[in-house]
Amino acid sequence: MAISTSIESQARAGTFRPALICLVALSVLTGLLYPLATTGVAALVFPQQSAGSLIERNGAVVGSSLIGQAFSTPEYFWSRPSATAPMAYNAAASGGSNLGPSNPALAQAVQARVAALRAADPGNEAPIPVDLIAASASGLDPHISPAAAQFQAARVARARGLPLTDVQKAIAMHTETPMLAILSEPTVNVLTLNLALDRMAPAK
């Protein structure tokens, strides 16, 4: 009986030891060495992106080119609506409104956005691009379409006292064309465009 128990203990020990060694080795490899290696490579190859694509002005961080911001004054281009809570563009609560097309709350939200755009530029009777009245699925989209930027160009030009052609040139310069055009469409980063306009004519 004692011999049988000793053999069983040795068998358990012989099974436990390799499993423990394997657990420790894999934890160090996948939980420490691999993340450190990938972080180091990313910092060397993509330093801007790996740091969060942060944008600075006068030595201070003013945002990220990957996260949208809410602009509401007439001298700035407005971003796509955001449905994140408790405030717009909350990166800790990415998500859409989840309102269906038959939900009255969605219709009311769209009507309010249309009214705000029309009130900000009463003489503009052009059709409103859909991305100015419909929130994205993430609620953090930093881009608008070139059409959405052009829709706002006259309002921004008047508010800043700039020629419309200068504002349109700024839009063209900040229009990003995807490498694979068949999979995506050109976009305009709202934050970088607004910062460029601030350099041309500071907001009042």
Q: Which of 91, 143, 156, 84 is nearest to 117 (CA)?
A: 156
Average pLDDT over residues 138-160: 96
Average pLDDT over residues 103-116: 93
Q: Does residue 148 have a pLDDT over 90?
A: yes
Please give the helix or strand (H or E) that residue 60 lies within, else none. Answer: strand 60-64
Both tokens of residue 101?
């097309």
**CA–CA dist 83, 109 (Å, integer):** 10
Question: Structural domain boundaries of the chain?
Answer: 2-48, 52-200
Confidence at 15, pLDDT banded by 50, 70, 90: confident
Instruction: Answer with the residue of higher pLDDT: 155 or 40.
Output: 155
CB atoms within 10 A of CB 10: 10
pLDDT > 90 fraction of the chain, expressed in percent and rounded: 47
CB atoms within 10 A of CB 77: 24
The per-residue pLDDT for 39 is 85
The per-residue pLDDT for 23 is 84
Confidence at 184, pLDDT banded by 50, 70, 90: confident
Q: Which of 67, 193, 194 is nearest to 142 (CA)?
A: 67
- Whole-number mean pLDDT of the chain? 87
What's 110's DSSP letter? Answer: H
Name 109's Cβ contacts closer than 8 Å, sequence gap at least 6.
81, 97, 99
Question: Partners of 43 in the beta sheet?
Answer: none
How far, in Å, are 79, 87, 99, 108, 133 from residue 118 at the CA level?
Answer: 15, 23, 24, 15, 12
Per-residue pLDDT tens over the stretch 29-76? 898 889 988 888 877 877 776 677 888 888 788 888 889 898 999 999
